[in-house]
């Protein structure tokens, strides 16, 4: 088993990883920037090291400094969490070159999936259905021909893209070339790689994804699926598991295909296959090679601790479960709690004055907040995740409504009112799952 783990992250996920380590008797090393010496998880780690200035490029994204911190502390493994360096193949490689264990997939698989064009090609080979789209990368020279084959409207996406950024919808052929050019410039600027590709723009799909675990030796299992269709600007706001109202005979082959794809490439660790689901068809869009923000909903319905499994797999223990031992129990929903204005969505960092954490059976609040905690301005606005589990979706919704009433966070603005007063009061959403445009089109007032 890993003896001492460096947690190369901050916020709620750093605390989440500490909790898993405590269960397994793994010692922990926390790292933090100069803006972050007040982080909750630093109180529980065995040692902590300041790694640099607030700007992430000078701290949480600085590979050299993080590796030095690992060396100084004598850590034998690094968990990257999500965001920051979690899907950086070079980081994974450097960790391994330094003789340490990277808690995640092999660098080649991070690289394969990090480029969405190569990811889509790999999935096609493995027999996973993909969105009808361009073949290879799109250039100004081949864009028209490719677009005609796909049809309009279509979506231009950055091969190296992430975080919902750099996508452009093209309605008509006349707009195509200028949009491809703009998309390439944007992609170069944001991701340092100007390759773009195109997909049919699906009108009303849901976002449905599959959680997998692989042992790196050709064995893999799935932990069923999640629905993450409630999004704003392609960013998830609320997630649930299992994805409601999908016929078994349509879902099961997709779950199997994801497992097979992992087994074929000897995938190691946790991963997520993301799909769009429309008219009872699944279309692969990308694979995330890390633990995701929304992993707790899967944990609540399966009883399996995804981070513990990541650590066990990285330690060489393989998979703790066989597929036929994993069952879905009930339904779980997660609300992402952000420090932001619930109407304008402007970030709202600042000091939390009062804080009360909701509680009760089937209620989980993954968060690093505490009274008088000062949220720095430099990082993501996610400050917590409220997850409720019930025997049915209705029960999970009822618990969430009440848990959101119990939750008190003052001193800053949060999106709690959006969850409590808008989403969880919406009759259509409470009745059944909605598509990826529903939140923006029907529940938010501004474009």
> By the criterion CB under 6 A, which residues form the site for ligand ADP?
131, 155, 161-165, 199-202, 205, 207, 231, 234, 274, 276, 285-286, 436
360 closest CA partner among 387, 392, 336: 387
For residue 350 the two structure tokens come to 């600042």
The C-alpha torsion from 410 through 38 and 342 to 56, rounded to 10°, is: 170
Question: 223-243 burial, b if ≥16 CB within 10 A, otherwise e?
Answer: bbbbbbbbbeeeebbbbbbbb
Ranges of beta strands (E only) in 280-413 are 281-288, 331-338, 350-351, 355-356, 363-367, 374-375, 382-390, 408-409
Active site residue 206: no
- Residues 442 and 54: their CA atoms lie apart, in Å, by 38
* DSSP SS3 for 443: helix
Out of 16, 168, 290, 364, the active site residue is 290
Whichever of 165 and 260 has its CB closer to ligand ADP, that residue is: 165
CB of 146 to ligand ADP, least distance (A): 14
Q: Which whole-number Å values give the CA distances from 65 to 6, 13, 61, 62, 141, in the listed order?
A: 12, 20, 9, 6, 43
* Residues with Cβ within 8 Å of residue 385, at least 6 apart in sequence: 12, 293, 294, 296, 334, 335, 336, 337, 365, 366, 367
CB of 169 to ligand ADP, least distance (A): 8
Whichever of 31 and 276 has its CB closer to ligand ADP, that residue is: 276
Beta strands at 77-79 and 101-102: parallel, antiparallel or unpaired: parallel
For residue 78 the two structure tokens come to 């690094």
CB of 228 to ligand ADP, least distance (A): 7
Ranges of beta strands (E only) in 216-319 are 220-232, 235-241, 268-278, 281-288
* DSSP SS3 for 228: strand
Whichever of 46 and 380 has its CB closer to ligand ADP, that residue is: 380
- Residues 52 and 219: their CA atoms lie apart, in Å, by 40
Whichever of 31 and 228 has its CB closer to ligand ADP, that residue is: 228
Beta strands at 268-278 and 350-351: parallel, antiparallel or unpaired: unpaired
CB of 167 to ligand ADP, least distance (A): 6
Whichever of 97 and 280 has its CB closer to ligand ADP, that residue is: 280
Whichever of 161 and 216 has its CB closer to ligand ADP, that residue is: 161
CB of 213 to ligand ADP, least distance (A): 20
Query: Are 228 and 433 within 8 A, CB to CB?
Result: no
Whichever of 207 and 413 has its CB closer to ligand ADP, that residue is: 207
CB of 243 to ligand ADP, least distance (A): 13
Backbone angles phi, psi at 214, to 5 degrees: -125, 150
CB of 435 to ligand ADP, least distance (A): 9
- Residues 284 and 291: their CA atoms lie apart, in Å, by 18
Query: Are 258 and 447 within 8 A, CB to CB?
Result: no
CB of 273 to ligand ADP, least distance (A): 11
Strand order in the sheet with 168-170: 168-170, 154-158, 196-200
Whichever of 68 and 118 has its CB closer to ligand ADP, that residue is: 118
Catalytic residue positions, numbered: 290
């Amino acid at each position: 088993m890993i003896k001492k783990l460096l947690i190369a992250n901050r916020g709620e996920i750093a605390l989440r990883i500490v909790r898993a380590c405590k269960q397994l008797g793994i010692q922990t090393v926390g790292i933090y920037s100069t803006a972050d010496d007040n982080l909750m998880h630093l109180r529980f780690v065995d040692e902590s090291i300041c790694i640099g200035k607030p700007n992430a490029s000078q701290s949480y994204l600085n590979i050299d400094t993080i590796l030095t911190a690992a060396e100084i502390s004598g850590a034998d493994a690094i968990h990257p969490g999500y965001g920051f360096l979690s899907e950086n193949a070079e980081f994974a490689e450097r960790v391994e070159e330094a003789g340490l264990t990277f808690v995640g997939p092999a660098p080649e698989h991070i690289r394969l999936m990090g480029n969405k064009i190569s990811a889509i090609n790999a999935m096609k080979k493995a027999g996973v259905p993909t969105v009808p789209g361009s073949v290879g990368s799109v250039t100004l020279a081949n864009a028209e021909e490719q677009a005609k084959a796909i049809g309009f409207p279509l979506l231009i996406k950055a091969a190296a893209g992430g975080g919902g950024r750099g996508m452009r919808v093209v309605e008509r052929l006349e707009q195509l070339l200028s949009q491809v050019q703009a998309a390439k410039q944007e992609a170069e600027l944001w991701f340092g790689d100007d390759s773009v590709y195109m997909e049919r723009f699906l009108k009303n799909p849901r976002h449905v994804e599959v959680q997998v675990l692989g042992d790196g030796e050709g064995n893999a299992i799935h932990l069923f699926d999640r629905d993450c269709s409630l999004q704003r600007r392609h960013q998830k706001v609320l997630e649930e598991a299992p994805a409601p109202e999908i016929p078994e005979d349509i879902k099961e082959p997709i779950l199997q295909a994801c497992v097979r794809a992992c087994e074929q490439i000897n995938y190691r660790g946790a991963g997520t296959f993301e799909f769009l689901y429309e008219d009872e068809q699944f279309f692969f869009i990308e694979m995330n090679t890390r633990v995701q923000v929304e992993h707790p909903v899967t944990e609540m319905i399966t009883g399996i601790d995804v981070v513990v499994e990541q650590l066990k797999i990285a330690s060489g223990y393989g998979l703790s479960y066989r597929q036929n031992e994993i069952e879905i129990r009930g339904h779980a929903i997660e609300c992402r709690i952000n420090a932001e204005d619930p109407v304008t969505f402007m970030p709202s960092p600042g000091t939390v004055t009062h804080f009360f954490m909701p509680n009760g059976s089937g209620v989980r609040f993954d968060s690093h907040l505490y009274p008088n905690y000062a949220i720095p301005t430099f990082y993501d606005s996610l400050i917590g995740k409220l997850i409720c589990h019930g025997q049915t979706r209705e029960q999970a919704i009822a618990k969430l409504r009440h848990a959101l009433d119990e939750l008190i966070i003052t001193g800053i603005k949060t999106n709690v009112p959006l969850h409590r007063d808008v989403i969880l009061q919406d009759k259509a959403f409470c009745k059944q799952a909605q598509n990826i445009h529903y939140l923006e089109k029907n529940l938010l007032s501004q474009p």
